[in-house]
Structure 1
Amino acid sequence: MSHWQGKTVVITGAGSGIGRGIALALARQQARLIVTDIDLDAVKATAKDCGGSAEALPLDVRDAAAVSRCCADVVKRHGRLDFMFNNAGLGIAGEVHEIPLVSWDRIIDVNIRGVVHGIHAAYPIMVKQGSGHIINTASLAGLGSVPLFAPYAMTKHAIVGLTRSLRLEAEVHGVRVSALCPAAIETPLLDKTEISGLPSMAWMPDARRFLTRLGGPPYPLDRFVIETLAAIEKNEELIIVPGRARIAQRLGQYIPGALTRIIRKVLAEERAQRPYSNPSGRQDG
Structure 2
Amino acid sequence: MWRQREPDPRRFAGRTAIVTGGGSGIGAALTRALAHAGANVVCTDVDEAAAKEVAEGLVSARGRVRAVALDVTDRDAVATVVDEVVTDAGRIDFMFNNAGIALGGNTELLGAEQWDSIIDINIRGVVHGVSAAYPHMIRQRSGHIVNTASMGGLTAAGLLTSYVMTKHAIVGLSLALRSEAAAHGVDVLALCPAAVETPLLDAGGVGGFTGRTYYLSGQGVRTPYSADRLAAEALVAIERGQPLLVVPWQARMAWRFARFAPGLMQKASTSFVAQQRERQHL
- Say whether the fold is shared (TM-score over 0.5): yes
Distance in 2 (CA, whole Å) between partners of 1:109 and 1:211 is: 23
CA deviation profile, 1:27-83 (whole Å, cap 9, x unmatched):
111110100000000000111112262000000000000000000000111111000
2:269 corresponds, among 260, 263, 267, to 263
Is 1:51 aligned with 2:59? yes
**Cα offset, 1:156, TM superposition:** 0.6
Find the counterpart in structure 2 of residue 212 from structure 1.
216
The number of residues matched between the two structures is: 269
C-alpha distance in 2 between matches for 1:139 and 1:102: 23
Structure 2: which amino acid aligns with 1:261? K
Residue among 18, 30, 33 paired with 2:38 = 30
AA at the equivalent of 1:32: N
SS in 2 for 1:181: strand
1:258 positional shift: 3.4
Distance 2:188 2:233 in 1: 17
Tell me the TM-score normalised to structure 2 length. Answer: 0.92
Which residue, out of 80, 91, 94, partners 2:105? 94
Q: Contact conserved, 2:157 with 2:273, CA < 8 A, in 1?
A: no
What per-residue deviation string (whole Å, max 9, x for no partner) do you get for residues 184-221 of structure 1? 11111101227xxxxxx3x1422111121112121122
Does residue 67 (structure 1) correspond to residue 75 (structure 2)? The answer is no
Residues 1-285 of structure 1 mapped to structure 2, 5 A cutoff? 1-51=9-59, 53-193=64-204, 201=206, 203-215=207-219, 216-217=221-222, 218-275=224-281
1:17 maps to a residue whose letter is: G
- Structure 2: 5+ residue runs without aligned partners? 1-8
Q: Secondary structure at the match of 1:10?
A: strand
Q: CA RMSD in A?
A: 1.4
Residues 222 and 151 (structure 1), Cα distance of their counterparts in 2 relative to 1, 3 Å cut: same
Q: Which amino acid aligns with 1:205?
A: F
Q: Residues 207-254 of structure 1, C-alpha deviation per residue, up to 9 Å, x if partnerless?
A: 111121112121122222222221111110011111211111001111
User: Greater relative contact order (Cα 8 A, min sep 6): structure 1 or 2?
Assistant: 2
Could you tell me whether the CA contact under 8 Å between 2:25 and 2:198 is conserved in 1?
A: yes
Q: Which amino acid aligns with 2:211?
A: A
How far 1:265 moved relative to its partner? 2.7
Q: After the TM superposition, which segments of 4 or more aligned residues of structure 1 sit over 2 Å from their partners?
A: 255-266
- In 1: Cα distance, 2:104 partner to 2:10 partner: 39
Percent identity of equivalent pairs: 45
Could you say which residue in structure 2 is the equivalent of 1:197? none
Q: Which amino acid aligns with 2:269?
A: I
SS in structure 1 opposite 2:11?
coil
Greater displacement, 123-132 / 250-259: 250-259
Task: State the distance in 1 between where 2:269 and 2:197 align.
Answer: 21
Counterpart code for 1:3: R
Q: Does the CA contact (< 8 Å) of 2:201 and 2:211 recur in 1?
A: yes
Consecutive unaligned residues in structure 1, runs of 5 or more: 195-200, 279-285
Normalising by structure 1, what TM-score? Answer: 0.91
Separation of aligned partners in 1, 2:93 and 2:230: 22
Residue 10 of structure 2 aligns to a residue whose secondary structure is coil
